[in-house]
Structure 1
């Protein structure tokens, strides 16, 4: 590393005595002459750090006159856990009427300046000073943001029982999960409390609550929707996307926010142009004229391995298979396809996540990325969690942190690198299958929403996490591969704990990268032809 500031031994900022414990902790031994030289060089680095201007001068701060926010409060009635914070935000001069008057909830890991952002945990007390890009774009399209939806603890749960604001109950059965981690978003959309919501998805956190609550949820192509101003889990699998009661609304919200913003390096230029999808308008796609053969010429591949998840509920299999068969009446060609590596993808996701996810999600260490950094929040978390911070974590988050510490100590970077290399191969086989088919279909989740633990239960993380074993088998592979994946409700199935209780289930539709509109088109055609609540 070259030196950019003048070196003066007499102005040394870092002494040999200050460096010695750092070097010893690293297991190194240095001669005194070498230590003297390096202390001078490190002094130059320290001087450079001290000379940095305040980065807040370049933050994308919102114009609070154009985007005023009022009535910020924590509601006494949080609708069975769904709301974290209420607020009203409107744009005084919207750019378009695309979302005019539509009410929107934000997952509580999305920055909204002046409104607390819990990320589902009490680990830090933090109020952002910026708006996420998707917030600004939503307001510019005429929408009204009316609050922050509860999310699970550190966004690391698929069961809606860990948010710092309380359990979030399924809209069809109190005491059952809405799915996570975008738990509040799922419930609020399903109950009609909001028209639209944003979720975040790193392993299925949009699609799990969408399936559990009987709504439409799209994990867009990786990089299509800017992630700027949203707390990260792992930048290689971070996605933000729309949740709505129907496909048209889902497409409309996607259209409002898609496109590069100049901050987020998750967003490649290929396939994107300006603020719109390059090749197709998603709303026009789903508004195609209804005909008896709406999907004529479309090839749908039924992913065999998606129906072979251990512990999969046969009622889910039957419901989704029946829904898939209905595509034939819409003119589509439906045929089986096998992707054997699909079964390995969840294992690879599990091994790839702890090292990078522990640093990025829990410690706020996103080094190596070109993106916006929440340096104010990073100040609230050290290079390691304190006992108090660790004690605030839910089962999934504490498991994540211990996994991070273990891999860091036992294996180093090798495990992460190995898993990532193997995941590239897994992603390639989906691309190969999608050369033959326009979309792939399978169940979103292997079983219906589980029952929540009793409130204030002190059960350990092992029992808690056992409730969702295999939950993300069909969802997490497409976080790593980056393909768009949409969850569409297709019927009700009996709850495992009470067969007399019926809960939603869903079909997942996966498309080619940046062909999100194909997923929306196929889903819209099915939705127009069939009423999932009557099947």
Structure 2
């Protein structure tokens, strides 16, 4: 039974006063609520726990050689009776924000220590497709960094130059695929976290249409911008990977069962059909729009611009019709992403507060965090994550829910503008990133968050708009360009291909044709 003495401090903290008679009534009502809560059955009984006899895991260990920071933990998981051979013989790395039962999940931070009890839906799907999971790739602190310098397991170095960023937040995934340590790796993308490391490391990275692939069992940043998708060395492997993991799972409310079935979930045959044609006919009938505003990013590197424009010219020789396209709202889209992130992003990603969503709730981890971060938890964050948390406290206190609602309403117009452009074109193309990977800070340097975050100003100008809009976006390596800090060092750059929602296959077809026709390392 709740007493008045217990209820009064709660009311006082909220600035509320009640009459004596109302206090008596609410004490009774809250007591009833407490009794109802106490009578709830144990939710752990309904969790989708894996069948460990079908999906055994072995050799769980922290490797002595972390592959220049890329591995967070090693483990071997293979299905004893796969339902298909779609990914037979392929090795896969999980990003370390994905649940794998019995294996620690750091989310790139020491904020909490958590070992999940469930497997993410996509984990089960790749195992059922015959793949072998060989470990979890390092990711940046709380998945809130675009540079590979903040993972709790250490810096991740670019595969083309030690001391340079591999991109973030799926940093380990990008490096492991690029070096051939794995065939495939998962990335998760809320502002560019698949495409940034894909571009930085010279691999393929696809942020699928929002909701095409279930996010169940993966730590969220903000459910409205959460995407999980494939990273691979070839477009065909990317298509295979996507085919294995796409489709609704019945848990994730980011997904709609409508339109996510049958031929709409087939990708490989379409890629094969395009690449089987004569070179000059591979993209016959495909209309490509070159997004003007994507080349007007402040601080954009001229070598990146030249490389991507040359790659776009190459599309013409493959039969595509290539014309300029304009979406003026593209320039303001990063501002909306920035202003929309703190309130929902900090609540969901840092506090695990996912109220209002129909999905699998990982309550065991949320319980470890609490309703506000402690000083110890805050101190365990990287500059990007700590900036988001302080921004959240400020926005919550100063603006409240109105700001987030304002941003979400404005985003509709931006998304509609991309849809309108894609009525005329099959895909839009642009640079993935505005400049090559930056140099990593020296280990042990005590620079403040402002200087650290200044290294990646404008990095997500062409990537984050499509997290908010939900359009599929693929990063395709198209060349090597000089590093800004040392022109003798050459680092990957990439072209981003954006398609209509649920037409991820168009991005794959355009990328596959270009990949077959050209060697990006010598282009």
TM range (shorter): over 0.9
Residue of structure 1 equivalent to 2:431: 443
> In the alignment, is the contact (CA less than 8 A) between 2:246 and 2:265 conserved in 1?
no
Query: Secondary structure of 1:330's match?
Result: coil
For 1:149 and 1:429, locate their aligned partners in 2 and report how far apart those are by CA, in whole Å.
36
**Are 2:412 and 1:424 aligned?**
yes
For 1:153 and 1:279, locate their aligned partners in 2 and report how far apart those are by CA, in whole Å.
35
Residue of structure 1 equivalent to 2:269: 284
Residue of structure 2 equivalent to 1:208: 196
Q: Compute the displacement of 1:18 (Å).
A: 1.2
Residue of structure 1 equivalent to 2:512: 524
For 1:310 and 1:48, locate their aligned partners in 2 and report how far apart those are by CA, in whole Å.
56
- Aligned pairs for 1:331-346 (under 5 A) are 331-346=319-334
Query: Secondary structure of 2:440's match?
Result: coil
For 1:22 and 1:518, locate their aligned partners in 2 and report how far apart those are by CA, in whole Å.
55
**Are 2:391 and 1:403 aligned?**
yes
Residue of structure 2 equivalent to 1:252: 240
Q: Compute the displacement of 1:529 (Å).
A: 0.6
Alpha-carbon deviations, 1:186-222, whole Å to 9, x = none?
0000000000000000000000000000000000000
Residue of structure 2 equivalent to 1:37: 25
> In the alignment, is the contact (CA less than 8 A) between 1:290 and 1:528 conserved in 2?
no
Query: Secondary structure of 1:344's match?
Result: helix
Q: 2:340 aligns with which of 331, 347, 352?
A: 352
Residue of structure 2 equivalent to 1:298: 286
Q: List runs of 5+ in structure 2 lacking aligned partners.
A: none
Query: Secondary structure of 1:121's match?
Result: coil
For 2:38 and 2:293, locate their aligned partners in 1 and report how far apart those are by CA, in whole Å.
55
Runs of 4+ in 1 over 2 A off after TM superposition: none
RMSD between superposed Cα atoms in Å: 0.7
For 1:136 and 1:99, locate their aligned partners in 2 and report how far apart those are by CA, in whole Å.
12
TM-score w.r.t. length of structure 2: 0.99
Q: Compute the displacement of 1:270 (Å).
A: 2.5
For 2:440 and 2:265, locate their aligned partners in 1 and report how far apart those are by CA, in whole Å.
41
For 1:217 and 1:169, locate their aligned partners in 2 and report how far apart those are by CA, in whole Å.
18
Q: Compute the displacement of 1:280 (Å).
A: 5.7
Residue of structure 2 equivalent to 1:7: none
Alpha-carbon deviations, 1:68-98, whole Å to 9, x = none?
0000000011010000000000000000000
For 1:450 and 1:111, locate their aligned partners in 2 and report how far apart those are by CA, in whole Å.
30
Query: Secondary structure of 1:197's match?
Result: strand
Q: 2:215 aligns with which of 182, 204, 227?
A: 227
Residue of structure 2 equivalent to 1:51: 39
Query: Secondary structure of 1:279's match?
Result: helix
Q: Compute the displacement of 1:279 (Å).
A: 3.0
Alpha-carbon deviations, 1:4-53, whole Å to 9, x = none?
xxxxxxxxx21122111111111122111111111111111111111111
- Aligned pairs for 1:92-491 (under 5 A) are 92-273=80-261, 278-279=263-264, 281-288=266-273, 289-292=276-279, 293-491=281-479
Q: Compute the displacement of 1:290 (Å).
A: 3.1
Q: Compute the displacement of 1:269 (Å).
A: 2.1
For 2:125 and 2:382, locate their aligned partners in 1 and report how far apart those are by CA, in whole Å.
32
For 2:256 and 2:28, locate their aligned partners in 1 and report how far apart those are by CA, in whole Å.
41
> In the alignment, is the contact (CA less than 8 A) between 2:243 and 2:265 conserved in 1?
no
Q: List runs of 5+ in structure 1 lacking aligned partners.
A: 1-12
For 2:321 and 2:384, locate their aligned partners in 1 and report how far apart those are by CA, in whole Å.
41
For 2:130 and 2:329, locate their aligned partners in 1 and report how far apart those are by CA, in whole Å.
43
